[in-house]
Structure 1
Amino acid sequence: MLVGAASMIDSVRTWLRPDPIAERQVDPVGFAGTATVAATDYFAWDQEDKPSRTTALDRIAEPGADIDGWNGAGKQRVDGVAVLDVNRFARELAVVTVQVHVIPFTKPAAPSQPGGLKASWTALPARWLTAAIPVRSLPGGRFALSGRPALVGQGHSADLGNDAATEPPDADFSADTTVVVSKLLTAYGTGDLEFVRAAGAGFLGLDGAAELAELDEWRVAPKADNSGVRIGTATVRWRLPGDATLACTYRIAISDRDGIWLLSAITVDAGGPR
């Protein structure tokens, strides 16, 4: 009888204080669904209606995360989103690769008139963009973006960690390789990777979907071993049609081949702790 009572008490304790691991089981469908909504809002913009975008991104961003990389210029519409892959890095974090069907616009030839008539924008040919979107599961069953989405090519790499964001960077090496990394990312934008991609790497570039405007920051983690591979974080601005630029942050691995640094891996910086 006492054993039965003890078992009942243990059961009540379990109801009142659930096992934290069981409580945080995450439905993988939530990652894909959140990324689909996020891509629809993130890759659509209109310089004449910036508040709508701000409101939409505030709803999908993790608290404290600054996810908007758009410069506020141009206009683009999203017609559809297709999920390609969900890569789980941890129970609560995933990077979702999507393709986004967008229609960019060029600026009106003449400015809007004082009488309220707006000059019309000219639609450019529709195209597909591939993007990696970092999504985190939050308590209460909510999902949110843990960092900025990034334009990527097919076959972008798996998790490269985020140690460069948390450890003091190797300032000398970062400075010495900034020009090299800028050239590697320029090639990544064009998709012409024949002479800059490391042997064995299978990722593709952006194939001209965006042009590198600027490498804003490149910081490299301290050297971990003698493998000849260095991993860092790069924030870049891509130039897009209609005067738009989009800031993206990547985790990048470069490898030394006979004194030449090559691009061996690249993926979105998922942001925050793993």
Structure 2
Amino acid sequence: MRTASALTGRATGRRRHGPRPGRVLLYLVLVVLAVAYVFPFLINIATSFKTESAATADPLGLLPQTFSTAAYAKLFGASDFPLWMRNSVVVTLVVTAGRVLFDSMAGYALARIPFRGRGVIYALLVAIMSVPGVVLLIPKFLVINQLSMYDSWSGLIVPLLCDAAGVFIMKGFFESIPTSVEEQARVDGAGTWRIFFSIVLPMSVPSLVTITILSFQGSWNELSHFIVASRSSGLVTLTKGVAQLSAGSLGQGNQYPLKLGAALIMTLPVAVLFFIFQRRIMDTTSGSVKE
């Protein structure tokens, strides 16, 4: 009874004295960091609905004095923005589907199928992940041009259909699946392809969702590859087109509402996709089986 009373007294004492100063300081730091992180995005939204003169006079204001959709009307009515969006949607969907398939297949081969040189291939895969993408731009252009893929849909899509990071993630997840599951399937007469598509992939939902989001985000926001892979106006994607807008391709003035409106539209698909599937990303253990 004394022990319970002492604990109750301590808890009451803590409530009387309030939260600890260290915890309050931690919360304040977190709030400041959150505001600093979110504030530019709020400016993006607010400025896209301002007039150009209001954006110039008060670029950091979060409340437009005059609500205007002129920037969006100009984007969709007096520019190639719809074409850029269509191109980005096509490239992103094809690349995302390709990466999910090929990264999964490559990851499973490295994790489960024994073959000569598997260790060397994995070492090269890790080495590629450490190389900055900008270093590979010129070799990538030379290969695309040599294969007659320059300035074509194949040049935009094919080089992005597989990536080292995705293979690395999938290999790690496949190695966490007990081999007894596959051995039992082989006893029942299942082959490698059936085991992969009917057993292993359904157990890999968390990693597949992660690869899907990373692939979607990576291909949607890709810029450097599109610069070296195409030049015609009919193959311009959103990132390349918005970069042209930043250079003032649609007229004079700072064009803050126009540029930030385009940036906002670019941001929304990735943000929506992440918020929908964020729980699947965090749940990295669902689908696994313990031996």
Q: TM-score range by the shorter chain?
A: under 0.3
TM (norm. structure 2) is: 0.22
TM (norm. structure 1) is: 0.23
Structure with more strand by fraction: 1
User: Which structure is richer in relative contact order (CA contacts within 8 A, separation 6 or more)?
Assistant: 2
Greater Rg by CA: 2
